[in-house]
Structure 1
């Protein structure tokens, strides 16, 4: 199998889907309830997955490849920012952690969407809680690594598929 643009984007799509499936397994099998920042990080993975899939189906020439790469990097870099914010909240001293706010479902019902985004990005006490680690790193660290790897994959895909 050759490493053409379509194949590279399908690999990116499958990677995002596997990351989202692992998040759902953690939520439903291991009963780790996601905080609002976790949900937003999932949305960034969903956006990247959608862009990878559309890019694979479309399989554009040079200019289109650059556009898809830019869009995907925008989604993934927003995920990097969310993961960094989450890591920062988890490393705050206990007395500096913001108080827990209402759930995301409630906020979406009651508040305007822009207020929901502002509230979630400020973080809450539940976002500062470390409920699971692997090799000493919490879930936001692992999502950060995944975002960085996918950013590198986007750039690699653009470089390798020059036509």
Structure 2
């Protein structure tokens, strides 16, 4: 079965893919308790940019949509680069930032709350993968997701319509 997608539909699909990826990261953080490090938080920025870019490309006239759609592969290539760097830091190939520690995400209300928070907060290092699946950390999965979204957006931007499936 072949599914024909327009540029607008493809742009919307990329925006939804970016939103789902960010949603997954937020679930890992707020539901499962994985505190992100500095590099983890940096890797989210291209996604925060890609969501409105994709939505804009979906809503603009076709000529402008194609231009905005071409910005998406560039955004995701940057994202893949950040993920590759972070993966390299985790595997010991690169030195990570010296100030790499995560935020707890919660503000202390009083001095007593702050002291309790200090006792229970663990500083997150960029050099340790908090979670792995099939040998890849979240940073490694970011590389794959980013490259997939970049390729999809580039394919959509290069044609008036394209097909997904057989």
Same fold (TM over 0.5): yes
Higher share in helix: 1
Q: Which moved more, 1:96-105 or 1:145-154?
A: 96-105
User: Bigger radius of gyration, 1 or 2?
Assistant: 2
Note the C-alpha offset of 1:60.
2.4
- The 3-state SS of whatever aligns with 2:125 is helix
Partner of 1:135: 134
- TM-score, reference length from structure 2: 0.74
Partner of 2:99: 101
Partner of 1:126: 125
2:96–2:126 Cα contact (<8 Å) kept: no
Note the C-alpha offset of 1:29.
0.8
User: CA RMSD of the aligned region, Å?
Assistant: 2.3
Q: Note the 1:6-155 alignment, pairs <5 A.
A: 6-61=8-63, 64-92=64-92, 101=99, 103=101, 126-155=125-154
CA displacement 1:103-162 (0-9 Å, x = unmatched): 577xxxxxxxxxxxxxxxxxxx71111110111211111000011001101111123326
Higher share in strand: 2
- The 3-state SS of whatever aligns with 1:47 is helix
Note the C-alpha offset of 1:22.
0.4
Structure 2 unmatched runs, 5+: 104-123, 162-166
CA 1:104–1:33 in 2, change beyond 3 Å: closer, same or farther? closer
1:5–1:59 Cα contact (<8 Å) kept: no
2:14–2:149 Cα contact (<8 Å) kept: yes
CA displacement 1:36-86 (0-9 Å, x = unmatched): 11111111111111110110011422xx24421332222111111111110
Alignment coverage as a number of residue pairs:
139
Equivalent-residue separation in structure 1 for 2:12 and 2:144 (angstroms): 20
- TM-score, reference length from structure 1: 0.76
Structure 1 unmatched runs, 5+: 106-124
Relative CO higher for 1 or 2, CA cutoff 8 Å, sep ≥ 6? Answer: 2
